[in-house]
């Protein structure tokens, strides 16, 4: 946590203060001058108190594969991408943006919510952009998985591009897998030859979380994530794909380098990231402080409570989604299902918990604690809605038997009653993350997705990162909130003689509250709607340069 705070402070201190500094930093990072219109973007950023002036490496990363294409080739691909299923086309013509779905013949009012959200994001500066086509992914899942050989050889990409596009658009491919291939088989081809994922039998390592070896389980309980998703390689660890639902999506991916704009992507995908319409919009289900009666946004959510009133519980609610059924039979291992089963485990399995004894001291001991008692002490995790039960092995009855369901339902505001809010992926990225961050609770986040704000946020300062196994979550709670009664009983601690309030770890609770406050401050200063607009504005300028026949002429000069 100390390192995270120092890193973020350093990040803030080195942001450019003048246009000249921003241009120089751009040239240093990317080896070229900024795109035309950069000075207008700079003024927009300064007028709106945008904090992050220089941190846009994700845009350069997402657009890098398109530089070998000419402007004409990119324009052709963007136009053709509008003929793909579940892809809307946002067009700018003469400074005015509109959206249409060409394949399904839908008018602008019928296009996806993601396209309508993108239209709103570019509204303030659309008149400053040239004619452009933005193919917007209407799905939550990533779409573009280009085989490694094409990425490795730009000439191959250019020469084979037209043929591949025509095959993609010819109608010979169904929009879903329909038993013909799956996401993982497409994903494996993006990995480098010789990697474990490219070897036929490397994917078959047993991965059941219910039968993890004791040694592995004990190790995972003390491995704390440094971030969420960026450094994990499914190419190097192909067996791990069984535990992530996005590899089982029914929606077929695309093996051609089309410029598809998506709200998030897992490592290995070639989609271009844009802010989520859930983050940008204002709705009852996804926005902190939204008043559904008066249809207005309040600074403090009406269900928010003081820190002292919040429960020391780890809270999550959601639907039993998380992936498709291609191939079928793997739903039990999806990220949400694993979390709910772990948090509602009533078996005799022990967890190893490390804690300070006496509370508040630097004397740490460990205890083997029955997971059933731990879950009673600290977990409040359940499904609230049955979705896609037919994908679960054994059907609806098996799904209900294996997982806790809360029939009472839940509102977004119910989360604020707890100090810990868990955020995990669904069919795609989690659309509730920004609302969680704006609350007065601490966010514990686990994801495989990369989003537009990854460079702007600091794990262990603004939120608590959680690994894909979730195994360390019990010791995260023990560090911040101290040992539970069942933990103290396991070692017959003398701390049992004092009240739970007296044995509460004051320092740990203060640190947890600090994370909650830092997350809220981040959302209100760096994760604002106008910050999303600044990101998209800069992305549009970079994209416009790539769209041009003469890219040198589309370069800014001071």
- Is position 312 within any domain? yes
Q: How far apart are the first and last CA of the chain?
A: 41
Q: How far apart are CA 116 and CA 446, in angstroms?
A: 28
- Is position 217 within any domain? no
In 3D space, the residue among 519, 447, 500, 509 whose CA is nearest the CA of residue 478 turns out to be: 509
Amino acid 396: pLDDT: 93
> Is the predicted pLDDT of residue 206 greater than 50, yes or no?
no
Q: How far apart are CA 112 and CA 110, in angstroms?
A: 7
Amino acid 492: pLDDT: 85
pLDDT category, 170, cuts 50, 70, 90?
low
In 3D space, the residue among 265, 269, 63 whose CA is nearest the CA of residue 186 turns out to be: 269
- Is position 84 within any domain? no
Whose structure tokens read 């067996």? 239
At 444, which helix (H) or strand (E)?
strand 442-445
Asked whether the bond before 358 is cis by omega within 30 degrees of 0, the reply is: yes
Q: How far apart are CA 227 and CA 464, in angstroms?
A: 9
In 3D space, the residue among 53, 5, 46 whose CA is nearest the CA of residue 25 turns out to be: 53
Q: What's the gap between Cα 396 and its chain centre?
A: 29
DSSP string, 297-324: E-SS-TT---GGGSEEEEEEEEES-S--
Helices and strands of the chain, counted as H and E runs: 19, 14
> Is the predicted pLDDT of residue 164 greater than 70, yes or no?
no
Amino acid 501: pLDDT: 62
Amino acid 360: pLDDT: 78
**The CATH number of the domain where 343 resides is what?**
3.40.50
- Is position 110 within any domain? no
Domain holding 519, by residue range, is 304-529
- Give the 3-state secondary structure of residue 264: coil
The percentage of residues in the chain with a pLDDT greater than 90, rounded to a whole number, is: 75
pLDDT category, 278, cuts 50, 70, 90?
very high
Q: How far apart are CA 486 and CA 469, in angstroms?
A: 23
Q: How much is the average pLDDT of 59-65?
A: 97
Q: Exposed (0-12), middle (13-18) or buried (19+): which is 68, by Cβ within 10 Å? A: middle
- Is position 468 within any domain? yes
Phi, psi of 98 (to 5 degrees): -145, 165
Q: How much is the average pLDDT of 405-428?
A: 93
Contact 468, 336 (CB under 8 A): no
Q: Which one is predicted more confidently, 294 or 415?
A: 415
- Is position 361 within any domain? yes
Q: How much is the average pLDDT of 442-461?
A: 96
- Is position 210 within any domain? no
Q: How much is the average pLDDT of 296-318?
A: 95
Amino acid 178: pLDDT: 82
Q: How far apart are CA 335 and CA 330, in angstroms?
A: 11
Total of domains in the chain: 1
Q: What's the gap between Cα 512 and its chain centre?
A: 22
- Is position 467 within any domain? yes
């Amino acid at each position: 946590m100390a390192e995270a705070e120092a890193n973020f402070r350093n990040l803030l201190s080195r942001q450019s203060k003048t246009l000249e500094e921003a241009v120089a930093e751009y040239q240093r990072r990317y080896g070229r001058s900024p795109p035309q219109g950069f000075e207008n973007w700079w003024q927009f950023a300064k007028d709106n108190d945008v904090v992050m002036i220089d941190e846009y490496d994700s845009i350069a990363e997402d657009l890098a594969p398109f530089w070998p294409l000419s402007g004409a080739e990119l324009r052709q691909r963007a136009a053709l991408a509008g003929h793909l299923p579940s892809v809307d086309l946002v067009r700018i013509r003469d400074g005015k943006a509109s959206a249409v779905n060409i394949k399904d013949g839908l008018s602008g009012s019928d296009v996806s919510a993601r396209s309508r959200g993108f239209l709103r994001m570019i509204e303030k500066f659309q008149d400053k952009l040239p004619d452009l086509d933005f193919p917007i992914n209407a799905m939550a899942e990533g779409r573009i998985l280009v085989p490694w050989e094409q990425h490795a050889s730009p000439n191959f990409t250019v020469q084979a591009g037209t043929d591949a596009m025509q095959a993609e658009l010819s109608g010979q491919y169904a929009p879903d897998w329909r038993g013909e291939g799956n996401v993982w088989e497409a994903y494996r081809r993006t990995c480098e030859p010789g990697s474990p994922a490219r070897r036929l039998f490397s994917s078959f390592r047993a991965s059941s979380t219910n039968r993890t070896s004791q040694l592995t389980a004990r190790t995972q309980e003390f491995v704390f994530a440094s971030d969420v998703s960026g450094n994990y390689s499914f190419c190097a660890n192909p067996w791990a794909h069984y535990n992530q639902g996005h590899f089982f999506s029914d929606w077929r991916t695309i093996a051609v380098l089309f410029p598809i704009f998506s709200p998030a992507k897992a490592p290995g995908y070639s989609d271009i990231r844009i802010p989520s319409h859930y983050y940008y919009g204002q709705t009852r289900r996804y926005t902190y402080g939204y008043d559904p009666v008066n249809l207005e946004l309040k600074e403090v959510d009406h269900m928010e409570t003081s820190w002292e009133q919040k429960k020391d519980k780890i809270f999550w609610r959601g639907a039993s989604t998380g992936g498709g059924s291609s191939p079928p039979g793997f739903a039990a291992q999806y990220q949400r299902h694993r979390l709910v089963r772990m948090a509602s485990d009533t078996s005799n399995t022990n967890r190893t918990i490390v804690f300070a004894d006496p509370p508040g001291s630097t004397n740490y001991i460990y205890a083997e604690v029955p997971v059933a008692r731990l879950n009673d002490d600290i977990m409040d995790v359940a499904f609230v809605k049955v979705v896609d039960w037919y994908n679960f092995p054994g059907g609806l009855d098996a799904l209900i038997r294996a997982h806790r369901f809360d029939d009472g339902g839940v509102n977004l505001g119910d989360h604020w009653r707890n100090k810990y809010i868990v955020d995990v992926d669904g069919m795609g990225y989690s659309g509730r993350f920004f609302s969680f961050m704006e609350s007065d609770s601490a966010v514990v986040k686990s994801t495989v997705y990369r989003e537009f704000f990854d460079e702007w946020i600091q794990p262990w300062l603004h939120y608590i990162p959680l690994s894909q196994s979730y195994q360390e979550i019990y010791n995260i709670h023990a560090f911040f909130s101290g040992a539970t009664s069942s933990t103290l009983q396991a070692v017959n601690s003398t701390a049992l003689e004092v009240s739970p309030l007296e044995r509460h770890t004051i320092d740990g609770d203060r640190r947890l509250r600090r994370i909650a406050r830092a997350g809220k401050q981040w959302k209100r200063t760096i994760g604002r709607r106008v910050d999303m607009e600044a990101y998209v504005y800069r992305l549009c300028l970079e994209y416009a340069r790539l769209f041009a026949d003469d890219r040198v002429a589309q370069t800014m000069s001071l």
